[in-house]
Structure 1
Amino acid sequence: MTDQAVDISGPVKASGAEDPSGGAAPRFFGRERELKALREDIERAGLDTLAGRKSPRARVLLIAGRPGSGRSALAEELAAALTGADVAEAAAGAAGALPWTARGTGSGDYPDGVLRAGLTDPGGERVPTERTAGEILGLLGLAVPPGADGDELSEMVREALAVRRVVLLLDDAADAEQVDPLLPENPHCLVVATATGPLTGIPDVRPCTLGGLEAGAATRSLARTIGQVRVTVDPRTAQALAEECGGQPAALALVGGLLAAHPRTSVADVAGQLRGLPDAGDQQPTGARPLARAFRLVHDSLPTAAARILRLLALAPAGLADAHTASALAGCSVSAARSTLDDFVRLGLVRTDGAAHPQYAVRGCLAPMLRDLLEDRERPAEIQLARARMLERTVRRLQSCRAVTEPEDAGARRKLAGLPRSLRFPDAEEAGVWLRQRQPALLASARLAVADGELDTLARRLVAALVRALAAHRGTEAAAPELYGLHGLVLDVALRRELPREQAAALLNLGDLDARTGRTRAALTRYRAALDAGRAAKDLYATGRAMESVGGAYEELGDYHRAADWYGRALSQRLTQGEREDEARLYGRLGAVHTYAGRYGEALRNWRAAAAGHRRLGGPAAQARALSEAARVQEYAGRPHESLQTCREAVELARRAGDVRLQAALQLRLADTLDRLGDPAAAGLHRIAADRLLGEESPAYEIRSASTES
């Protein structure tokens, strides 16, 4: 494709598109009866009420209908009406761009607004419960524990919603098993679900089933897009065209967009073309044929290059594309891709969120047809090449996103200057905005790349770049839930490709996140597997790190004997490699676990060895901390005079290091020891010295038995 934009555009509205009365066209019409029935259903007494029981859960409303029937738009309209949610924000949610939360006006039964989540991916796959629950928690501003399973996260959702009055909109549910775990145990909340059929298994749910719009409403919908004049001059043909579309809002939007883009084309011509299209086959349900024919008519009217871009959008992760995604897929310039995507918006093929970095969401009802067309019209090799181009572009954008956070003189910034201008970000703030907006699509891209199995090298690069970008912009703590999933993807590829070094790295990262969230036994399993992988790769760093981590897990579990054994193994390896900093740290960890276990002789030897190691490394502050712990052990062992002398050595080292807070902490340690030795006067002098060092408002920190070097 050339760098020129594909010219399929015409006026967005034909002449006379404005409402003759001068008033704005209504945003939502044609479903007033269904909307009224849904609102009445909220007030209807449920089975529990009729039985004299208090309802234990939220009321569930189901809007059922085929994709393209307007079920999501009706759900959004109902939610907005109940909460006073912003109409534009609701429209962005309906576009499928991002999950959203909208605050109401503070009045009504649901003052805490609307929470929305999609339950089916554009590819047709069910969204796992843990991902949906994590999205809802994120919308509520609650931290998501990394690695938590669906049961834990859905329980957190129920707890969070137990104290709120919200409308929970669950779009495109495959079955009741997706909805049931998320139902709030709070009768003051409302769940609005959309699905193709009934949600068997959820009690007291009466579906509001949608068919086509009535003839008058369907014609008005068409007039809103193409202008009242073109309908008025030939009302019978306009009504016939609406009937050919089956009254389906999505089909009407497509033919309306086609007519608006070609103002010289008559309504009769489009109606005749639509009527003349053959059905796709007997396998297609009758109710799905109007939308399929309307889509095929619009697709076939596009120039060749634009039609190919449209088909390739089936590869867009999470159904979300930006100009760079479309550019990479089609092999055209970014400006040409952006222009073509804007044309698709006018044709009703995609929707856009209008953000600073606009994203274009493929309509969910069109996604299956796009996939079928892609497989039918494009060779598998071309599809794989397009996917590879998209992944490579994404990797470069992520590298640019991370590099812009580096100092000006860093190597990454120098490499950034060599990238094309379109791939660069002006500053870190702009890059962070892009990363936040594109995060759902980026995570979906990583999952799809790994699942593909044929582009593992690119998949590994993509995951690595995404991990670095998230850590740079959000920090490892804030991004831990996403990082956990990404490390799991790395592990999948490493296992598939038999890459033991990468297996070890992924297992260590996953183990660290498990340990940080209190899943110590799960972390222990990860660390042991990492040790095996490190040994298979003959990676000394990975094996040493794994042995130390196994020891840390046993220490956390209170098994100090095993912890000391594994720390000792890690120390033996470090001693053979001459890694003095690691040696000193491991001596300290051994000293800590021996102290906990009451083996004071072993503890004292290891703390003194740690102090000697830090002395050789030239770290007087670390040496002082190790000697302070040695003094603590001496005191536990009933040797207070030796403890006093060791603590004085530590004070002198802290003074030489210029660590005022450490000096103050050690002065307090000396005071406590002198009190126990029966010398309160000297103890008081040391407390005065500590107060003088820090001032009355800045208490000294406590030196704990657990090694601060671990």
Structure 2
Amino acid sequence: MRRAGAEIRLLGPVRVDRAAGPIDLGPRRRRLVLAVLALEVNRLVPVERLVDLAWPDGPPRTATHAIRVCVSGLRSALSADGGDELTIDTRGGGYVLRADPDRIDVGRFQVLLDRAADTDDDAAKVAVLDEALALWTGPALSGIAPEQTRLRLSLGLEEARLSAVEDRVDARLRLGCHAQVLVELTTAVRAHPDRERLVLQLMLALYRSGQAGAALQTYRDARQRLADEFGLDPGEALQRMEVAILRGDPGLLVPDRDVAPEPADATAQPGAHAVPAQLPATVGDFTGREHELAALDGLLPEHPGPSTMVVAGMAGVGKTTLAVRWAHRVRRQFPDGQLFADLAGFSTDPPAAPLRVLGEFLSALGVAGRQIPVGLTEASALYRSLLADRRVLVVLDNAADADQVRPLLPGGPGCRVVVTSRRGLGGLVARDGARRLALDVLTAGDAVDLLSRIVGAEEPDGYGDLARLCAYLPLAIRIAAANVSACAGHGVVDQIARLRDTDRLDSLTIDADDQAAVRAAFDLSYAALEPAGRRMFGLLGVAAGPHIGVPAAAALADVEPAEAARTLERLAGANLVERRSTGRYGMHDLLRLYAGERARAAGSAGTAAAVDRLDAFYLGAAGAAADVLYPSSPRLVTAPVETARAFDDDCAAGAWLDTERPTLVATVVEAAAAGRELAWLLADAMGGYLFLRRYGADWTMVAEAAFAAAERFGDTSARASAHRHLGGVHIASSRYREAVTYLRPALELARAAGWKAGEAAAHNNLGLAYDNLGQLDRAAAHFCAAQALYDGCGLVSGALAALSNLGAVHGRAGRLAEAAAAYRRSLADDRRRKSRSGAAADLSNLGGAVWRMGRLDEALEHLTAGLALHRAVGNRAGVANSLDYLARVHTDAGRLDLAAKCAEEALTVATEIGDRRIEVNVRNARAGIHGRSGRADVSSAGYGHARSLAVGAAFHHGQAEALIGLSRGSLARDRVRAAIDLAREALAVTVRHGFRLLECDARLALAEARLADDPAAAAEQVRSALAIQRDTGYRRDEATARRVLARAVGADEETVTRL
């Protein structure tokens, strides 16, 4: 759909379109200038670069003036009809095109490629790639002069287009569309015979189409061409494909769509999407509701009409039971899965935030942690995209209002939604086209049948009266039936008499007569409990969270855990609580309201004391678990020993926090709403755990609730902690500039409060943010300040963490000896303290430092040990970092198969935990492996992807490494001018940010590119690189440096070595 306003087209003839038609841009050189500015939208393009591109064979004396004339003409053309979407600013020695990147087709193309890469649903991937490739209307940047400049600028775009074609073919092959892709593949291989991935895809499509002979001939043709033109053998993937075809390997057939197939190539995405099955168990004694089930059948895809049904009715009428029963009955008609969420719309806990539900749904649909947006609009859009071509049933239980539901509605024609609510949700009906099903109580006959099925047929004559006194409400009938079954010697007649004699209460805001019966049934069940059961039942009504464990219930009631467990089991037997999982219990929301009233009626002092005990339990246990998992993070308070729970190891601590996470999050939110200081204290205790596990939506919710409560309360230390954790949320999401805006106030607030440990933690986090932004001096200053403050507080683990972080900065700045010394010192202290998590980080970082020194065997030893420890303590970011380093060590040692295995696992982990920095590093490492394997096209695509991600995250170190790889890839294709430009860009980034080791690599890449046209300049760059190696101890490319220098000065390498 065309946007309002101007749009720049680069994927074909260069032009600017408005609603009224294309703008006349004038001469071809003017279009060239616009194209270059648009490719670097919102970034400065120096005049010298424009001159170099416009006159590649040498500029005239008037070149700079001619560029100014071009820019002036473009400004006039772009503003001719009053539009201001596209403007060109003069800044410094160049120009900046100011525009929304979405107004440039290249930007939209990249967004679509990223979206395709982020989905595991092959049908959705094909649809997105279709949309992306439809943006191309011809060769990129057509109509600019000269042609060699067009080829130079369009290289990356053409590579991205071909990779997108290959990705789309891979997805279609996994979908079984082998016959449909044959024509496209045959044409593509004819046009690009050197792309082995296309050849492999054509072989597979031919084989699946019953043309094994043609597939083998395709291989033979490719092998002959490679031998004739390059003197090479086919790559391993092609060779394996030939062998598999000769053997008739069944693995070549279309994979079962219920099992995720292996990708056909290392760069392909897994094809099969996750199939969630989240429906709760249905009750075995479901009775009646035939009319309502038939009405729900009208939702099925074969019936025209609305795709959403709102099941509305009073509390306890059986809305959830009906929805779940129907969902189980039709689930096979939704082969892509069933999603279920309790929206807690009518509960003592706050209603479930749509963002949190979306996070859980996206995770169930196979979306990795980093891919789950932290904004509601973005998360909802991703959810709709994933479900666009799937048949999924979504059950949204206990909705509060239409606004809570609306972001959770899928847009695909094959999806159906059932919403249950006590309200009619008229907004969904009027605005979203939902249909409403009003659920009434059971008919008299169905109510009697339900009693008979639960109790048996001993006294059927009294069932009618009992059902009537229960107002035919299913929940009340079940409770009354439980009372009959549980009370030996008191049958249906006795139960009827007791119900008739019960006082009627009117406090709940639903129909008085019906509620009187429900309340009476609750009263009888409550009265039948022994005192301990009554007390526990009431207190559960004031406990936050969807469920509670036995230890927490014991703290709440101030009893021993064994007694709490027995009491909870008795309550479950009376249908007053529900068993949610082993050792955990929850309550129906109506019962929770009733229980809360009972607790408050028993006395506010006792209830408040119980809540305080539960708060202390959660705070103490969460703090104890955090101390084991993440000891370097200081906390506002240390829980008293008597309230803290002991954890034997990292695994036990992590497992407890994983189980309790929903309840802890709800507790923070509820405490914040109530103005209790637990909100920021518990959030503070959970921060380190949420950072390690990367639960982005939960961490955001907890941090924001704590922030709001702390700001309201005005406690300076609390505000410092809340600011720091919000900064941490942004660091984990690779939003480093935003992180700084929270961390600076965190530092000042901690300082004002005299909270030295908090001040140290803020310094440490600021160091992390600045390190990732490439501001190494500022990062080092903050890490040094953090270390000094931690030392002064006696917090050894924090000081060691800051020291280790400082070592990383030393390494990037080229101070390898200092980095290694920092890591060794920290490692010795961590081993003395028996800190496995600290030792794991130190070993991995030390391995990375000595790898840069060229000591591969020692690096392998440290990294292998560090990886084992990271796996043992469950630090997935540490696992990914260690595997990234191991991939690089194996690459330098020539063990490319091992390197590839490490890189693939590292990439999987990095994307799952959502660490963009690690992902960029791993993609660069993997691209380097492809380059060493002779797969230049795949390597360049990998470096291009890494560069794009790095620029988006402002991760300059990863950006520079990608530019160096792209330069060397261009040189391998004899695209010398592009190689020089890319190396120069990389060098500028490394010098600007002080990345000495990457500066060395950039100078070597530039020297290699300049060898042919200017050996003297190449020699100068090599000598600078060798000087860096001497200063830093960096030895990775020492042999390359001497080889290039020998060629530049016309000497042999032995002579150069003696110089």
Fold shared by both chains (TM-score > 0.5):
yes
Q: Call closer, same or farther: CA 1:424–1:220 in 2, change over 3 Å.
A: farther
Question: 1:291-347 CA deviation, whole Å, 9 max, x = no partner?
Answer: 122111211222222211111011222241222222112111211111111111111
The 1:544–1:641 alpha-carbon spacing in structure 2 relative to 1, beyond 3 Å, is farther
Out of 673, 690, 700, the residue aligned to residue 451 of structure 1 is 673
Alignment-derived partner of residue 329 in structure 2: 81
**Residue 682 of structure 2 is aligned to residue 311 of structure 1:** no
Deviation at 1:275, TM superposition (A): 1.6
Distance verdict in 2 for CA 1:534–1:465, change over 3 Å? closer
Shift of 1:481: 3.9
2-side partners of 1:369 and 1:281: how far apart? 12
The alignment partner of 2:340 has SS state of: strand
Structure with greater contact order relative to length (CA < 8 Å, sep ≥ 6): 1
**Cα deviations across residues 551-604 of structure 1 (Å, max 9, x unaligned)?**
558x47xxxxxx699669869979999999989998997998xxxxxxxxxxxx
Return 568-577 or 73-82, whichever deviates more: 568-577
Decide whether aligned partners of structure 1 residues 670 and 64 sit closer, same or farther in structure 2, where only a CA change above 3 A counts: farther
Looking at structure 1, the residues matched to 806 and 780 of structure 2 have their Cα atoms a distance apart, in angstroms, of 8
Q: Secondary structure at the match of 2:420?
A: strand
> 2:394 aligned with 1:186, yes or no?
no
Does residue 552 of structure 2 align to residue 337 of structure 1? no
Separation of aligned partners in 2, 1:127 and 1:526: 26
Return the alpha-carbon distance in structure 1 between the equivalents of residues 625 and 765 of structure 2: 32
Task: Select 2:683's aligned residue among 463, 466, 470.
Answer: 463
Select which of 549, 554, 579 maps to 1:327: 554
| Cα distance change of structure 1 residues 586 and 568 upon mapping to structure 2, 3 Å threshold | same
2:297 equivalent in structure 1: 39
Task: Give 1:190 deviation, angstroms.
Answer: 0.8
- Is the 8 Å Cα contact of residues 66 and 288 (structure 1) preserved in structure 2? no
Structure 1 match to 2:355: 130
* 1:398 Cα deviation after fit: 3.6
Post-superposition offset of 1:479: 3.5
DSSP 3-state at the match of 1:317: coil
In structure 2, the partner of 1:514 is: 730
CA-CA distance at 1:123 after TM superposition: 0.9
The one-letter code matched in structure 2 to 1:111 is P
**Shift of residue 184, structure 1, vs aligned partner:** 0.8
1:295 maps to a residue whose letter is: F
Per the alignment, residue 682 of structure 1 pairs with 1053
- RMSD over aligned CA atoms reads 4.4
Kept after mapping to 1: 8 A contact 2:737/2:769:
no
Of the three residues 258, 263, 266, the one matched with 2:488 is: 263
The question of 1:251 aligning with 2:509 is answered no
- Paired residue for 2:285? 27
Match of 1:277 in 2: 502
| Residue 208 (structure 1) aligns with | 437
Say whether the 8 Å CA contact 2:476–2:518 is kept in structure 1.
Answer: yes
Secondary structure of residue in 1 paired with 2:1035: helix
- The TM-score, its normalising length taken from structure 2, stands at 0.48
CA change 1:315–1:190 in 2 (3 A) is same
Alpha-carbon shift at residue 267 of structure 1 (Å): 1.1
The 5-angstrom pairing of residues 408-557 of structure 1 reads 432-454=654-676, 456=677, 458-468=678-688, 470=689, 476-501=692-717, 503-537=719-753, 541=760, 544-545=763-764, 548=767, 551=770, 555=773
Q: Structure 1 residues 292 and 512, CA, compared in 2 at 3 Å: closer, same or farther?
A: same
In the superposition, the TM-score normalised over structure 1's length comes to 0.70
Superposition deviation, residue 519 in structure 1: 3.4
Q: Matched residues in 2 for 1:423 and 1:574: separation? A: 29
Distance 1:611 1:320, change over 3 A: closer
Aligned partner of 2:403: which letter?
E
| 1:167 and 2:393 aligned | yes
Partner of 1:300: 527
Q: Distance in 1 between matches of 2:389 and 2:534?
A: 49
Is the 2:483–2:574 Cα contact (8 Å) retained in structure 1? Answer: yes
Alignment of 1:349-388 (within 5 A): 349-353=576-580, 355=581, 357-379=582-604, 381-388=605-612
For the residues of structure 1 that align with 2:326 and 2:336, how far apart are their CA atoms? 15
Cα distance change, pair 680–492 in 1 and its aligned pair in 2 (3 A): farther
Give aligned pairs, total. Answer: 577
Confirm or deny: 8 A CA contact 1:352 1:360 kept in the other structure. Answer: yes
Q: Is the 8 A contact 1:584 1:613 kept in 2?
A: no
Whole-angstrom distance in 1 between the partners of 2:686 and 2:804: 34
- Distance between the aligned counterparts of 2:819 and 2:555, measured in 1? 53
8 Å CA contact 1:547–1:569 kept in 2: the answer is no
Inter-partner Cα distance in structure 1 for 2:555 and 2:387:
42
SS class of match (1:125): coil
Q: CA deviation at 1:264?
A: 0.7
- Check if 1:66 corresponds to 2:295: no
CA distance in 2 between partners of 1:364 and 1:585 (Å): 48
- In the aligned structure 2, how far is the partner of 1:614 from the partner of 1:148? 35
Are residues 519 and 405 of structure 1, via their aligned partners in 2, closer, same or farther at CA, if it must alter by over 3 Å?
A: closer
- The SS at the match of 1:318 is coil
User: Where do 5+ consecutive residues of structure 2 fail to align?
Assistant: 1-282, 632-637, 792-798, 825-848, 855-994, 1008-1015
The answer to whether the Cα contact below 8 Å between 2:675 and 2:713 also exists between their aligned partners in 1 is no
What is the rounded CA distance, in whole Å, between the counterparts of 2:374 and 2:1037 in structure 1?
A: 39
- Matching residue of 1:97: none
In structure 2, C-alpha distance between the alignment counterparts of 1:574 and 1:64, rounded to whole Å: 56
1:247-305: per-residue Cα shift (whole Å, max 9, x none)?
11100011111111102102111111112223213865233222122111211222222
- Residues 567, 673 of structure 1: CA spacing in aligned structure 2 closer, same or farther, 3 A cutoff? farther
Shift in alpha-carbon separation, 1:27–1:238, aligned structure 2, 3 A: closer
Structure 1 residue 685: Cα displacement: 9.9
> How much has 1:523 moved relative to structure 2?
2.6
Distance 1:328 1:36 in 2: 47
Is 1:664 aligned to residue 1036 of structure 2? yes
